[in-house]
Amino acid sequence: MKFSQKPKIIIACPSTVGNQPTYYASELGKHLPARVFVFSLRLPTILRHVWFAIRIMFSGAEWVIALDNFSVALSTVLSGKKVVMRVGGDFLWESHVNGTNNPVLLSDFYQKIKSGEIKLNKKEKLVKILTQFLYKRADKIVFSTEWQKRITNQGYELIDSKISIVVNHIGPKKESTFAKHKKFLCIARNVPLKNLSKLESAFIMAKKEQPDIELEICKNIPQEKVWGKLADCYAFILPSISEVSPNLVLQALQYNKPVIATKDCGFADSLADTVMLTNPMDEKDIRDKIIEMSRENVSKEYTEKARKFNHVHTYADIAREFMRVIAKI
């Protein structure tokens, strides 16, 4: 494929609050010859998939970058276009955890299905079958971490030649303010997989030993409000059951903030010397990590570790990597 002429690309993304495109889609779209189509939730389930597929079918696009592995991907595959499926999370695992409130680690999920420890209901079985179909039909599959690729391979028959890794955005350092209070910040959606109830229980236990600490949980806030919250906090904590590639951890490191993050995470290996990892299934471990981080010498140690984290991966870099993936179709 030659790039002498701008290719026609659609970035198909899930909707956020008010049916706005995701931040990732908006930023990526600034660096590609592309239009962003938002998968609206305003229509009934089947109708929304059909309508989205029709929009893409008659868009004039040659390629579609689908920013999920199920809802958006289903419509893009049905459209008949060439599809690059960027797998940001795991729809089946998320649906199971949020639907059943069963706190299973993503790293254990598919092995427990195979062993029979987890039994999928009819809806979940259908989702798994459709997801397998989408992985087979997609022209290319993009993961953000090797960890995610390895886990997905446990549950689905992936063709290795289709797979690429495009890591998430890592921005340059930002100025932060000195935290006047020991305020731990958590930013997360209000769903079971984010483990907020365990965090709150663990924090109550930690506060008995460290009365000067505070916890602020911000639920479902837009990206433009995230920056100010991160700049002002004492430390950032993300004790989700599992996280594929948590952008919020990377954003906290941009502000040189000490970070406590779940150990079941795509960054666990690469950031093991930079952030403090906790067992999301163990309230006492979360409590202990909060107490440890509340000590000034430990906080200074992790602030310095965050300061030494100077990796940058821009949306322009990501766009170029997607173009290389498209060139191989």
The CATH number covering residue 219 comes to: 3.40.50.2000
Same domain (yes/no): 75, 156: yes
In-domain check, residue 239: yes
* Share above pLDDT 90 across residues of the chain, in percent, rounded to a whole number: 85
The whole domain housing 157 covers 9-169+314-327
pTM over the 0.85 mark: yes
Q: Is residue 2 very low, low, confident or very high in pLDDT (cuts 50, 70, 90)?
A: very low
Same domain (yes/no): 18, 154: yes
In-domain check, residue 242: yes
pLDDT tens-digit series, residues 289-313 = 999 999 999 999 999 999 999 999 9
Say how many CA atoms lie within 13 Å of 200 toward its Cβ. Answer: 10
Same domain (yes/no): 139, 204: no
3-state DSSP assignment of residue 164: strand
Q: How many residues does the chain have?
A: 329
> 19 pLDDT exceeds 80?
no
pLDDT tens-digit series, residues 206-230 = 999 999 999 999 998 888 899 999 9
Q: What is the count of structural domains for the chain?
A: 2
Mean pLDDT of the chain: 93
In-domain check, residue 177: no
Lowest mean pLDDT segment, chosen from 15-19, 139-143, 176-180:
15-19
- Give the per-residue pLDDT at 177: 76
